[in-house]
Amino acid sequence: MPDLPLGDLLELDRRHVWHPYGPMPGRQEPLVVESASGVRLRLADGSGELIDGMSSWWSAIHGYNHPVLNEAVRGQLGRMSHVMFGGLTHEPAVALAKRLVDISPEGLEHVFLTDSGSVSVEVAVKMCLQHWRSLGRPEKRRMLTWRGGYHGDTWQPMSVCDPKGGMHELWQGALPVQVFADAPPAAYEEAYADHLRELIERHAGELAAVIVEPVVQGAGGMRFHSPAYLRVLREACDAHDVLLVFDEIATGFGRTGALFAADHAGVTPDVMCVGKAMTGGYLTMAATLCTSRVADGISRGEVPVLAHGPTFMGNPLAAAVAGASIDLLLGQDWPTEVKRIETGLREGLAEAEALPGVREVRVLGAIGVVQLEHPVDMEAATRAAVREGVWLRPFRDLIYTMPPFITGDDDVAQVARAVCAAAREG
Ligand SMILES: *Cc1c(COP(=O)(O)O)cnc(C)c1O
């Protein structure tokens, strides 16, 4: 069906195709994208192009149709698009794992490649629980996290998402019951640090690990917090025999101004998840990294293996483009680019602070957030942004952007104008 008329395509989409967090049949009319290049999405209805203020959910950091990434996929495609990873291995996966070990916080040595962020969190939880099980402490099987988090949509990740107002409230009672701390305040407060220490100490006997998104909580509310809390977590976890997991799926690869958000605090977690921007937004792949301590624990068990092995584990196409994307990032002065976008967003979003109905404007790295005092009128906000030539996807009371790192100054200004327009009309 190469030339499906637009009306038919939309009708088939509505009737048969599930979209993220959507009902069936669909109620909202999605925009049909025909192609994408640089920072722009070209719409199929002939209405022109939109700047992508979302980087396709944090992932397309180098923009679309990038010649270097295209070539990485094309080159790999000519050799093999996939082979199983059980009993076989290949250069793209090994080279990617080596890069991840080299650039991630010191001490993370081992890499488990998965096909999505949610699965990388499942693997992280499995690693932590199995570590304690192997050491004869199976009662250490709960996770602790702070409220306001988001870790994905499969079962274990849902159990550590914010239990209130998030997308997974429906599942309370069915999910594993985890331990929740209050949401982290933006600035460092000793009383909150004590709250974390106290909870970890009180539950240490049953805790396998603490899992958090470092510095920026993404889809759970776009909140920022002091990196100093990461050091508090590290110390408390060490003191009470609890592992520490950082979910860097949204924050990794430069988004917050550091290569990994953990770098803001100089902390190494025991386990770290990366995804989203890892492949430059080209293909679906994520990874779970761990220290030798975690791997050794698992190896000492009665079942000395990690019993996980996705069919498409280590997919060569995804691994090749991930390697190319990381090289592309490190081969440029990315901190300056992210800083430039941060400055542009700060300037452009300043006017939103004075708008009626705006609670707070916050910017960190290449992330800009306008939080309203009321739930966003999604349709009105989206329409306002599209009228300004920008694609945004607000949720709850939040209008936000994390544009590709290649977004030029004029385009950053346009994105900021669209965020302000969406805040005014949404
Ligand atoms: C997006 C996200 C996930 C889930 O990743 P998927 O690839 O969508 O499964 C997990 N954790 C964080 C912090 C995320 O932003």
Mutate to test the pocket of ligand 1, among 58, 146, 150 (most ligand atoms within 8 A of CB): 150
Reported as a single tens digit per residue, the pLDDT across 243-254 is 999 999 999 999
Extents of the domains making up the chain: 31-65+333-425, 69-331
**How many of the other CB atoms lie within 10 Å of CB of 240?**
16
Domain 31-65+333-425 in this protein, CATH class:
alpha beta
pLDDT (0 to 100) of residue 2: 60
Output the residue whose Cα is nearest ligand 1's atom 5: 117
Reported as a single tens digit per residue, the pLDDT across 118-169 is 999 999 999 999 999 999 999 999 999 999 999 999 999 999 999 987 677 8
Active site residue 64: no
Residue 199 pLDDT > 90: yes
Atom of ligand 1 nearest to the CA of 284: 7
Active site residue 21: yes
Mutate to test the pocket of ligand 1, among 119, 276, 402 (most ligand atoms within 8 A of CB): 276
SS3 content of the chain, % helix, strand, coil (to 5): 40, 20, 40
CATH number of the domain located at residue range(s) 69-331 in this protein: 3.40.640.10
Residue 180 pLDDT > 80: yes
H or E element at residue 335: helix 334-349
Residue 1 pLDDT > 80: no
Distance (Å) of CA 90 to CA 70, 100, 252: 20, 16, 25
Residue 57 assigned ligand-binding role: yes
Average pLDDT score over residue span 304-331: 97
Q: Exactly one of 115, 140, 150, 282 is catalytic; which is it?
A: 150
Q: Do domains 31-65+333-425 and 69-331 have the same CATH topology?
A: no
Give the residue from 162, 300, 134, 143 showing the smallest Cα distance to 221: 162
Distance CA 424, CA 376 (A): 10
Q: Quick check: pTM over 0.85?
A: yes
Active site residue 282: no
Q: Exactly one of 140, 229, 270, 276 is catalytic; which is it?
A: 276
H or E element at residue 387: helix 378-387
Active site residue 150: yes
Are 126 and 306 spatial neighbours (Cβ–Cβ below 8 Å)? yes
Reported as a single tens digit per residue, the pLDDT across 90-130 is 999 999 999 999 999 999 999 999 999 999 999 999 999 99
